[in-house]
Amino acid sequence: MFLDTRIKLINISLENSIGKNKDIIAGVDEVGKGALAGPVVAAAVIFRKKNFSWINRVNDSKLLSKNDRSELSKLIKDNCTYGIGAVSNHVIDQVGIEKSIDLAMQIAIDRLFIEPTIIIIDGFNRKLNHNGLIKNFIKGDQNYLSIAAASIIAKVYRDNILINLSSHFNSYGFDTNVGYGTFKHMSAIKKYGYTTLHRMSFMPIKALIRDNYD
């Protein structure tokens, strides 16, 4: 079973109420903002129809199991228009996480082969180039179908990057923590130092480096 019945189902009618029938709505979300290692990834998703048999299984990626996210990601990619954008940890260190999120979202939107008339985004205002309407929604990934779908494919994509690289950095547990600051991850940084995947501008790593040199 994909979804615990206690989890709120996405309200499709809420999304439909945003525009008119001719409007093409793209939902956008990012993952990896708070991670200490790896890229930040954004996805944009357009549902050209909303009568798929699996549509009521779509929800905020954080509320789904790993297996459910993986299966839904494939279904979304096979049946929807989507784009994915990734910005490396090196760029994050150069321009900051907020601008990097904007860059990742812009890349994802630009990779849609259908141009949306309305973009809906999870979270606060973002600096994006778009000729149409942009609307921001707090907890949008828990209320809007295309934003939830974007969160799913972005998370699966980003998780797979860290999982695939974990064998090259096997002391850090990237296959399970996917770059977030778990106890094992922080302990490994203290013991072995940072890697080429780490975000040097993030305070936990800056603090560890400072403490090691004090």
> What are 91-150's pLDDT values in tens digits?
999 999 999 999 999 999 999 999 999 999 998 888 898 988 999 998 889 999 999 999
Question: How far is 40 from 114, CA to CA, in rounded Å?
Answer: 24
pLDDT of residue 208: 73
Q: Produce one character per residue of 158-196: b if its CB has 16 or more CB atoms within 10 Å, e if not.
A: bbebbeebbeebeebbbeebbbbbeeebbebbeeeebbe
CATH topology of domain 12-165: Nucleotidyltransferase; domain 5 (3.30.420)
Question: Where are the domain boundaries for CATH 3.30.420.10 in the chain?
Answer: 12-165
pTM higher than the cut 0.85: yes
Q: For the chain, which residues score pLDDT lower than 70?
A: 1-14, 209-214
Question: How far is 59 from 62, CA to CA, in rounded Å?
Answer: 8
The tokens describing 24, both together, are: 């093409």
